[in-house]
Amino acid sequence: MKERKQNYYGSLCTEMYEILHRQAPKEELDFYVSYAKKEQKILEALCGSGRFLVPFMKQGFDISGVDLSGEMLDKLKQKAPNANVVQADILEYSPDEPFDYIFISSGSVSLFTDIHLCKKILKKLKGMLAQKGKLVFAVDTVANRCPDDSDYKLSIAVKTKEGLDLTLRSKNYYDESGQTQFSPGIYELYDGARLLKSELMDFQTHLYKFGEMEQLLTEIGFTAIRTYSSFKKEQAINDECEMFLFECTVS
């Protein structure tokens, strides 16, 4: 069994993700596209397997991507061999030019459970923006808290294209003081009853309260911040929505 890495998408995790989430949800894709212009330089940070980046490419946008997971980027390259993507930790990523628009999809900012690290990453992204550039991203809220489990249980089972069985057993527990949802998982690949491969996933997310991220963004230096509760750009007013979407502009 492979070593557990926090929030890193390994080969089995990536395979299941591709089966379940191969295409971007239309409403979410349309939301991120609504900020894009053809003459802009665009970056998708944490681009993963490209379910957002590839549609942007197909629509003619000048988009680049960065992600730490080599497994995810391999999937992206299978779909779009000419994609301009880099495998790197976002804090070590050094683009040649600033971007007009940076986005992070799928609530991935919540994966940075260390708030000091999260603030550092957001500050890094702000520094990569051109004047009047926009950073747009989503986070999960405290309304997404899962009930605690006493043990691992089967949560997902899918078939691979080779006809093998790929399963995920997981459990959830929530740390109230740190607002962290822990969801450790065990991915297993079977050929009938024979276990071919196993992979541990240490999945953690920080669940945000209303006003919490806004304070971080203000401390970083963003002066124009809008908070939405849906992809329809409805204004967020409390914690009861499942996500917060942030539109941050460099003045």
Which amino acid is located at 15 in the chain? E
Which amino acid is located at 125 in the chain? L
Q: Are 52 and 36 in contact (CB under 8 A)?
A: no
Q: Are 129 and 135 in contact (CB under 8 A)?
A: yes
Q: What is the pLDDT of residues 167-223, one digit of tens each?
A: 999 999 999 999 999 999 999 999 999 999 999 998 999 999 999 999 999 999 998
Its pTM stands at 0.92
Mean pLDDT value across residues 27-37: 98
Res 24: pLDDT:
94
What confidence category does residue 1 fall into, taking pLDDT thresholds of 50, 70 and 90?
A: very low
- Range in 3-17, 82-96, 132-146, 228-242 the model is least confident about: 3-17
Q: What is the pLDDT of residues 98-155, one digit of tens each?
A: 999 999 999 999 999 999 999 999 999 999 999 999 999 999 999 999 999 999 999 9
Angstrom distance (rounded) from CA 165 to CA 181: 27
What confidence category does residue 4 fall into, taking pLDDT thresholds of 50, 70 and 90?
A: very low
Residue located via tokens 């499942």:
242
Residue 229: enclosing H or E segment and its boundaries? none
Res 8: pLDDT:
65
Q: What is the pLDDT of residues 43-71, one digit of tens each?
A: 999 999 999 999 999 999 999 999 999 99
Looking at every residue in the chain, the average pLDDT score rounds to 94
> What Å distances lie between residue 106 and 28, 116, 169, 176, CA to CA?
8, 21, 22, 23
Q: Are 196 and 170 in contact (CB under 8 A)?
A: no
> What Å distances lie between residue 219 and 58, 120, 123, 214, CA to CA?
37, 11, 9, 9
Residue among 149, 159, 141 nearest 212 (CA): 141
Per-position DSSP letters for 89-145, written without gaps between them:
-GGG---SS-EEEEEE-TTGGGG--SHHHHHHHHHHHHHTEEEEEEEEEEEEBGGGP
Res 153: pLDDT:
96
What confidence category does residue 91 fall into, taking pLDDT thresholds of 50, 70 and 90?
A: very high
* Chain centroid offset of residue 75 CA: 16
The answer, yes or no, to whether residue 77 has pLDDT greater than 70, is yes
User: What CATH number was assigned to the domain covering residues 8-142+208-249?
Assistant: 3.40.50.150
